[in-house]
């Protein structure tokens, strides 16, 4: 079973930037970044298939960018122009390994079967 470990995150003032990474212990197909604020539903932020096609939530378009290095089995999330409402626990997730490399990545969290432990991002005003 693939394990996912996030790193990065932390605290930054509004307008600043942060990077988070997710190291996978093995092969992954579609991967995604999700975030959750306590008491609220976990929501998709950015998802990417193995071929590198990415989709973004409307709330982060133009500010966040996700990429992956399939040789290093690592997923990245570059977050720019951060806002206080971006404050959340950020999780990376992986879909089934048997999925095609070109499938359109989904924002449905139930389609992801492996999750990291999360990393906190806090943006102060």
- Report the percent of the chain where pLDDT is more than 70: 100
How far is it, in rounded angstroms, from Cα 40 to Cα 21? 23
- Report the percent of the chain where pLDDT is more than 90: 94
Cα 66 versus chain centre, distance: 7
Tell me what pLDDT residue 125 has.
95
Tell me what pLDDT residue 85 has.
97
Kindly report, residue by residue over 55-106, the tens digit of the pLDDT.
999 999 999 999 999 999 999 999 999 999 999 999 999 999 888 888 999 9
How far is it, in rounded angstroms, from Cα 57 to Cα 61? 6
**Strand ranges, E, within the chain:** 4-8, 10-13, 18-24, 31-36, 43-48, 54-56, 64-69, 74-79, 88-94, 114-115, 119-124
């Amino acid at each position: 079973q693939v394990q996912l470990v996030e790193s990065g995150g932390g605290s930054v003032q509004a307008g600043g930037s942060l990077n988070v990474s997710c190291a996978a212990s093995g092969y992954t197909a579609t991967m995604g970044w999700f975030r959750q604020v306590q008491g609220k539903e976990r929501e998709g932020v950015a998802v990417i298939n193995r071929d590198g096609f990415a989709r973004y939530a409307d709330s982060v378009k133009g500010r966040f960018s996700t990429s992956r290095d399939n040789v290093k089995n690592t997923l990245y999330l570059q977050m720019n122009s951060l806002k206080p409402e971006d404050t959340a626990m950020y999780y990376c997730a992986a879909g089934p390994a048997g999925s095609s490399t070109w499938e359109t990545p989904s924002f449905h969290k139930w389609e992801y079967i492996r999750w990291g432990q999360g990393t906190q991002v806090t943006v102060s005003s």
